[in-house]
Amino acid sequence: MADKQKILNCGCKGIRTCLICETSNEKRHLLNDKHLVHYDFRYDPESNLAVPCEGNVQCSFPFPGVFLWENFVSESEEKELVTKMDQDVWRASQSGRNKQDYGPKVNFKKRRMRLGGYSGLPAVSCKLVDRMSTEPVLAGFTPVEQCNLDYSPERGSAIDPHFDDSWLWGERLVTVNLLSDTVVTMSLDRGWGDMGRGEVRVAVGLPRRALIVLYGEARHRWKHAVYRNDIHSRRVCCTFRELSAEFLEGGAQEKMGSEVLNIASSFRGVPL
């Protein structure tokens, strides 16, 4: 009975787990030490190099495709953003995260998108999106989806290594990090050259109130993750996604894309 009640508050499906469902017999066999990561390298934002961590004899190497913008939001904006989010419902999602989504309904496997109840991005994001586009890396960035995630150490929240879809979503993935510092772990399943034996991990430190952009190799070649042991207190983030070329002018799905863009830019969205 106690197990059942706990699982009711958990959004994990399949192989995903969190501290809530890991107490149940059903999920116990899925426990592993994936959250006890060790980093081979850390990203240095000054040089854009991946630099070896202590005890690692490998050389530094260029790590393109990461852009960090420290203090992207002020302390008062952070407060305003999180207060507004907390006035809406947070829905239980996978791996102990809670979620609020402002975006069209998508079936990635079948490559289908429909508007559903999509009403655009929230009003509070309008000034953030304007600010983003003043940065050359984000020139012309017009997001159509905003996904807010809420992580907590009590739920063991995390996100496993993954690539974001490239059929619908465009080149730049933009995340604004709120309430606490964390680490985005970039990983290559099988290394290369001298590192050919196993997974290579690069820790990208993400300060509270900073924005991170992943593009190029960091978007398409390296998976990204946030591990449980890098969540030290409540962390909220907002990820903004733009459309791929297929949904923009001249693309096969231009018409659908332009409907979505129109709705997004109203900034009257409510979470779905």
Ligand X SMILES: O=C(O)CCC(=O)C(=O)O
Cβ closer to ligand X: 17 or 175?
A: 175
217 binds ligand X (CB under 6 A): no
Q: Minimum CB separation from ligand X for residue 222, in Å?
A: 12
- Number of residues located near ligand X, criterion CB under 6 A: 10
Cβ closer to ligand X: 10 or 184?
A: 184
Which of 164, 171, 217, 259: binder of ligand X (CB under 6 A)?
Answer: 164
239 binds ligand X (CB under 6 A): yes
Cβ closer to ligand X: 121 or 226?
A: 226
Q: How far apart are CA 196 and CA 183, in angstroms?
A: 24
Query: In the window 51-110, what residues touch ligand X (CB under 6 A)?
Result: none
Q: Minimum CB separation from ligand X for residue 54, in Å?
A: 25
Q: Which two tokens stand for residue 22?
A: 């890991």
Give Cβ neighbours of residue 270 (< 8 Å, ≥ 6 apart). 88, 102, 119, 122
Cβ closer to ligand X: 20 or 186?
A: 186
Q: How far apart are CA 51 and CA 43, in angstroms?
A: 6
147 binds ligand X (CB under 6 A): yes
125 binds ligand X (CB under 6 A): no
Closest listed residue to residue 271, CA positions, set 86, 113, 134: 86
Q: Minimum CB separation from ligand X for residue 24, in Å?
A: 25
Q: How far apart are CA 21 and CA 95, in angstroms?
A: 9
C-beta of residue 168 within 8 angstroms of C-beta of residue 113: yes
Q: How far apart are CA 35 and CA 155, in angstroms?
A: 13
Query: In the window 165-184, what residues touch ligand X (CB under 6 A)?
Result: 175, 184
In the chain, what is the greatest distance between 2 CA atoms, to the nearest angstrom? 56
Q: Minimum CB separation from ligand X for residue 121, in Å?
A: 16
149 binds ligand X (CB under 6 A): yes
7 binds ligand X (CB under 6 A): no
Cβ closer to ligand X: 164 or 254?
A: 164
159 binds ligand X (CB under 6 A): yes
Residues 80-84: contacts with CB under 8 Å, at least 24 apart = 80/124, 81/124, 81/176, 81/178, 81/236, 81/238, 82/178, 82/179, 82/236, 84/122, 84/124
Which of 106, 237, 243, 263: binder of ligand X (CB under 6 A)?
Answer: 237
C-beta of residue 14 within 8 angstroms of C-beta of residue 21: no
Chain positions contacting ligand X, by CB under 6 A: 147, 149, 159, 164, 175, 184, 224, 226, 237, 239
